[in-house]
Structure 1
Amino acid sequence: MSPFVLLQHITPQHLLTRIIGSLAASRTSWIKQPLINWFSKTYKVNMAEALEPNLEAYDCFNDFFTRALAPEARPFSPNPHAWLSPADGEISQAGKLTGDRILQAKGMHYTATQLLGNSNWAQEVRGGDFCTIYLSPSDYHRIHMPCDGKLTDTSYIPGKLFSVNQKTAQGVDALFARNERLVCRFEGEQGPFYMVYVGALIVAGIETPWGGREVLTRAPRNRGHDHKLKQGEESGRFLLGSTVILLTPKDVASFENCQPGTKVQVHVPLNYRKDDI
């Protein structure tokens, strides 16, 4: 086990995350402004893409971190034949589920049942396709719909808060199924699909258009929904970065051409639906 991964095992993950979350939500100028300025410079954030490029215009670090982009930064034309990237980030892994198993890193797998926390839901994507996208600190942190879908259910699952970068993915078994996460089930034109928003160390929460702030470290909860969202529409935000996992049923989509390490952006096709390839 690497020292980096070992350190995460002994770190009080939830306490540290709550402390960082409080700082990120602070509207006190001498706290929020140096934090925003340092972060923007350290991670070379491209503010030319932002709807509001002035760093001093944000009321708190969270507002800056979840900043909206100017419309021209991510051009969007609806494409009913494509699965679009739900996030800016880097493809961690993508391809087919081997039965119920999802590839995490070379030689390491976890199951859809573990990830979704529901064996019936896991059965819906058995033998299907997945795409795991890692959002780095410098990325745009709003999540968008890959296709039209009706939100039917969400499940908040408590857990650990390991980092989700590649080094940790190679060192922690079933990482994404161990961390806290919000599972969103949608009904699409060709059946159900899932987006899983995975929490991580110092990720202070996940925010959705339908539920508001989904603050981490709470008890598990399941909710039924009936919200229709269009392709490209915003479906969530990370308050500090993390990972999104897209799961589709068998013979609906193919992400096998999405190579690990490839950078992707919102609204760019991951691949076309199989009927249209």
Structure 2
Amino acid sequence: MSMKKTIQNILSQEDLNFLLTNRIPRNTLTRFIGWFSQIENPVIAYISIQVWKFFSALDLSEAKSQHFKSMHACFTRELKPNARPINQDFNNLVSPCDALIGAFGRVSNGEIFQAKGFPYALEDLIPNKSLAKSYEGCEYVTLRLTSSMYHRFHAPTAMRIRKITYISGDTWNVNPIALKRVERLFCKNERAVIECEIDHPDKGIENTTLTLVPVAAILVASIRMHCINLLFHLQYKGPNEIDCEVAVTRGEELGWFQHGSTIIVFAPKNYRLLPSLNLGDNIRMGEALFEYSPER
């Protein structure tokens, strides 16, 4: 067995993985990596990216550039044109990012699940109580970005961004091991709540509010939003409510994570997750995620 495989097998042990990625000074390490990753030195960048490749399935073949002046530039890399075709069916909401399906279901009694047996109150995740309550009976999906994935996120459909609420928080790891051990994890971590109004041809649609909740994590705690030209980070204390009125097109880039993390998508009423999608499935940005189902 190769050394790489041996190390990966060791790190995959749940107790050790949880210890190494959570029982450490998370915020201090996150700030350090945030600083280190932006050092613009070709030697440091090259070595850092090679180490990253050793511990993950990092594939840069789709990257717009193959030369990175820093590890941060590699984290936030752009893709080649047309690397992610956008589904153009207006009855579909597309995935805002490359991700694994981590959890999905319907909001029931104000609760959703971060993992099997681990429910949490939607009002703990979304500070706006009326917004949280409006999703009762609606469907949601948790999209988990791994460290090696494309880290930019995009608009699921043509829509207007109405408000962004930033909540400063902790930086727990958001991998499945931590989600099975730390209750209300997403509600503890740094996150942004992006309230949007979708543009749909059916003007009689009951509810057109779509909400995206990007959640940061260890080594990740910075969320860049283009529409308000801000980089949210651990020192940007929250909650902070920022009203905006920004129209975006289907598939338009909204921002990026500095590493990898999670986006929870709350669909309007009458939308359902595609029946073909299952837990653990890999989905790419631009692929159909929810479909309009007016009979519901």
TM-score (norm 1): 0.92
Q: Which residue of 2 aligns with 1:250?
A: 269
How far off its partner does 1:13 sit? 1.3
Q: Which residue of 1 aligns with 2:139?
A: 129
Q: Which residue of 1 aligns with 2:230?
A: 212
Q: Residue 35 of structure 1: SS of its match in structure 2?
A: helix
- 5+ long unaligned stretches in structure 2: 1-13, 200-206
Q: Deviations over 1:85-106 (max 9, x none)?
A: 1111100001211131111111
Q: In structure 2, do the counterparts of structure 1 residues 115 and 257 end up closer, same or farther at CA, with 3 Å as the change threshold?
A: farther
Q: Judge conservation of contact 2:139–2:272 (CA < 8 Å) in 1.
A: yes
Mapped to 2, the partners of 1:170 and 1:29 lie a distance apart of 39
How far off its partner does 1:215 sit? 1.8
Verify: 1:89 aligned to 2:102, yes or no: no
Q: In structure 2, do the counterparts of structure 1 residues 99 and 252 end up closer, same or farther at CA, with 3 Å as the change threshold?
A: farther
1:139 to 149, 167, 171: 149
Q: Residue 45 of structure 2: SS of its match in structure 1?
A: helix
How far off its partner does 1:154 sit? 0.6
Q: Which residue of 2 aligns with 1:157?
A: 167
Q: In structure 2, do the counterparts of structure 1 residues 89 and 130 end up closer, same or farther at CA, with 3 Å as the change threshold?
A: same
| Amino acid in the other structure paired with 1:39 | W
Mapped to 2, the partners of 1:136 and 1:34 lie a distance apart of 20
Q: In structure 2, do the counterparts of structure 1 residues 75 and 98 end up closer, same or farther at CA, with 3 Å as the change threshold?
A: same
Q: Which residue of 2 aligns with 1:265?
A: 284
Q: Residue 82 of structure 2: SS of its match in structure 1?
A: helix
Identity of aligned residues (%): 28
| Amino acid in the other structure paired with 1:193 | L
Q: Judge conservation of contact 1:187–1:193 (CA < 8 Å) in 2.
A: yes
The list of structure 1 runs, each at least 4 consecutive aligned residues, that deviate by more than 6 angstroms after superposition, is none
Q: Judge conservation of contact 2:163–2:244 (CA < 8 Å) in 1.
A: yes
Q: Which residue of 1 aligns with 2:108?
A: 98
Query: 216-225 or 192-201: which moved more?
Result: 216-225
Q: Judge conservation of contact 2:75–2:151 (CA < 8 Å) in 1.
A: yes
| Amino acid in the other structure paired with 1:47 | L
Q: In structure 2, do the counterparts of structure 1 residues 108 and 204 end up closer, same or farther at CA, with 3 Å as the change threshold?
A: closer
Cα RMSD for the two superposed structures: 2.0
Q: Residue 48 of structure 2: SS of its match in structure 1?
A: helix
Query: 185-194 or 238-247: which moved more?
Result: 185-194
1:179 to 179, 189, 198: 189
Q: Which residue of 2 aligns with 1:17?
A: 30
Q: Which residue of 2 aligns with 1:238?
A: 257
Q: Judge conservation of contact 1:89–1:136 (CA < 8 Å) in 2.
A: yes
Verify: 1:194 aligned to 2:204, yes or no: no
Q: Judge conservation of contact 2:271–2:290 (CA < 8 Å) in 1.
A: no
Q: Residue 25 of structure 1: SS of its match in structure 2?
A: coil
Number of matched pairs: 274
